[in-house]
Amino acid sequence: MKYPPHIIEQVKTRLNIVDEVRKVVPNMKKKGRAWWGCCPFHTEKSASFHVREDQNSYYCFGCGAGGDVITFVQETQGGTFTEVVGRLARQAGIKLPDAEPTDPAAAQKRQSGAKALERAAVFFHRSLNDTARAYIAKRALTEATVAEFQLGYAPDSWDATKNALLSEGFTPEVLKATGLTTQSEKSAQANNGQGRDYDRFRDRLMFPIHDSQGRVVGFGGRVMGKGEPKYLNSPETPFFNKSYLLYNLHRAKPHLKSSGQLVLVEGYMDVIALYQAGFKTAVAPLGTSVTAEQITLLWQQNPHPVVCLDGDAAGRTAALRMANRALSVLEPGRTLNFVFLPQGEDPDSLVQKDGIATFRTLLTQTTSLENLLWQQLSSLADATTADGRATLETELAQLLAQITNPTIRRAYGQTLKDKLWQAVRGTRGGAGAKAPLAQSVMQAPRDYKPAIQGDAATRTLLALVCRWPHILPQVDETLGSLTFPPGPLAELAQAVVRAYVVLKLPPEDLAQDLQQGPHSTTVADLLTSTGVFTLAPETDALALFHNQHNLWRAQSQSRAKYTETLKNTDWFAPESWNKFKDLKESASTVLTPSPRRPI
């Protein structure tokens, strides 16, 4: 008896080979990308046995023993191959089908199915017509990219694919087993279950889907005009299980060592556009929400992959769903980082408009898994009330219960409880807490002196933008030309310009980010010290900004004269001393909106 190939692949994907080997070789140490230890298959004093988690393999340079996780368990614990697969599948929580008979006819059928999928990919690629090529050109894909990904076209016919493969000697049974054809329910009912087979994919742009070894196991088909569903994947077959596959993983693997980055994007076209632009290590799920098995597959290649999603509500919902799904498979040394694109953009459109450098820059601005989980928690209730705190503590306990690894559960519990405690302390005026913007300003003590630098005029200009981000379209160039000394104020100015110019964040979203994001304390300090917070909401912020900018230019001119006077004047002459005092006053004074003296 023998299990289907996809069950064997699921076992290899779900189980961590390092964990299995460490049950036998507990003292292994990680060096680079491999784990090293003394070989369990022969006696040795120096370690020549190594395990590669990213390749799901082990090898001993001393005795030549090698294999995968199934081989290792079989060699160290005994049992037939089928028995070990069954045991490991149950350990991994994989539902086992009835084992397949190991007769030659069944093996031949599997080989024929794999060959049929390969030939179908060739047929679709050769069938590219003018309509498909026009769509491809519209998406700015080159001929080299089309050939690399073997993009194709499924003819607008009920039997073109079927007839082409039948002419090559494949049987109707093999075509149905691979998901290339399906059966008409009406004709089946009319003919005692003997329905007419027809092509599953018709009039669609075709994307071959490969397993991690580069073998075609299924297809994704996209409509090029109107029609539903937008994407259609192969059904689940002995060759294809979308929960255990990632699009483009087999191409990405050779580039992971040099790149150091593995990025999960949402769609096939995103992957292809990034690959064409020179970013080779992007992968995608197959049209469904990301599964725990796919997260594990990501971690086998890179312990800190980046998940790149749209910045809209749907993208954030998908991020939270994935974050929660990762909890059950979290292990020490593994995590997820999240990047949210500007609203209305995906990697494909972003690269075409702004170039791959912008995409690479965005990958440096990630949100950690624990911060994303905290955002989810803190949005559920108000920590300023007893009922809200009780709700958050209950939700936190339920979230932590999903984490199976005790070390990870303890670490995440401590981190998230600290964040909750900081939120609670913020309502009580505790030191170091980040209370909401308005609350922080209203509770500032009378002798408050924020630790920010910069002259009064430039700080006032930045404060006006932070209070009223809607003026940014008219003043972004002016704001970008201002300079601040290194420190929190310079970081805030850079963050505002980057959020609006590069990330294209809408002003209303920017306002929320300034109030609740990492710069909220600096913003509160700035609005307090300049007095901008005391202005009425209906203030003409744009006119006030231009007025302050004119004062800033006048101040700059006065400062230049002041500096020149310091260099060339006899300070002890009475007339020079009076001139010096006038210039100093004009160079350091600005008409701020508040009677408070800026710091």
- Whether a cis peptide bond, with omega within 30° of 0, leads into 347 is no
> Over the stretch 545-584, which tens digit does the pLDDT of each residue have?
888 888 777 766 665 665 565 556 554 555 655 655 565 5
Nearest to 566 by CA among 552, 553, 579: 579
Identify whether the C-beta of residue 188 lies closer than 8 Å to the C-beta of residue 194: yes
The secondary element (H helix, E strand) that includes residue 411 is: helix 406-426
Task: Tell me which fold the domain 104-184+191-240 belongs to.
Answer: DNA primase DNAg catalytic core, N-terminal domain (3.90.980)
Nearest to 286 by CA among 249, 216, 233: 233
Q: Are strands 306-309 and 152-154 parallel, antiparallel or unpaired?
A: unpaired
Cβ within 8 Å of residue 300, ≥6 positions away: 13, 16, 53, 54, 56
Nearest to 457 by CA among 587, 331, 576: 587
Tell me if the domain spanning 456-588 has CATH number 1.10.10: no
**Cα(41)–Cα(49) distance, integer angstroms:** 9
Q: What one-letter code names the amino acid at 514?
A: L
Share of the chain above pLDDT 70, in %: 83
Main-chain phi, psi angles of 566, to 5 degrees: -60, -30
DSSP reduced 3-state for 306 = strand
Identify whether the C-beta of residue 467 lies closer than 8 Å to the C-beta of residue 535: yes
Cβ within 8 Å of residue 256, ≥6 positions away: 54, 262, 281, 301, 302
**Cα(210)–Cα(217) distance, integer angstroms:** 5
- Beta strands (DSSP E) in 188-336 are 197-199, 204-210, 216-222, 231-233, 263-264, 282-283, 306-309
Tell me if the domain spanning 5-91 has CATH number 3.90.580.10: yes
Render each residue's pLDDT in the chain as its tens digit; 599 residues.
567 777 888 888 888 899 999 999 988 998 877 899 999 988 888 888 999 988 889 988 888 888 999 999 988 887 778 888 888 988 888 877 665 555 677 778 889 999 999 999 999 999 999 999 999 999 999 999 999 999 999 999 999 999 999 999 999 999 999 999 998 766 555 566 566 899 999 999 999 999 988 999 999 999 998 888 899 999 999 999 998 899 999 999 888 878 889 999 999 999 999 999 999 999 999 977 899 989 999 998 898 999 999 877 788 888 999 999 999 999 888 999 999 998 888 999 999 999 999 999 999 999 999 999 998 898 888 888 889 899 999 999 999 999 988 889 999 999 999 999 888 876 544 444 443 433 333 333 333 233 333 467 788 889 999 999 889 888 887 887 777 777 788 888 888 887 777 666 677 777 777 776 677 778 887 887 777 877 888 888 898 988 888 877 776 666 566 556 555 655 455 565 565 556 555 544 443 443 333 33
What is the reported pLDDT for 335? Answer: 94
Domain positions in the chain are: 5-91, 104-184+191-240, 249-373, 380-433, 456-588
Identify whether the C-beta of residue 350 lies closer than 8 Å to the C-beta of residue 359: yes
Q: Is the pTM of this model over 0.75?
A: no
- Beta strands (DSSP E) in 430-502 are none
CATH, domain range 249-373: 3.40.1360.10
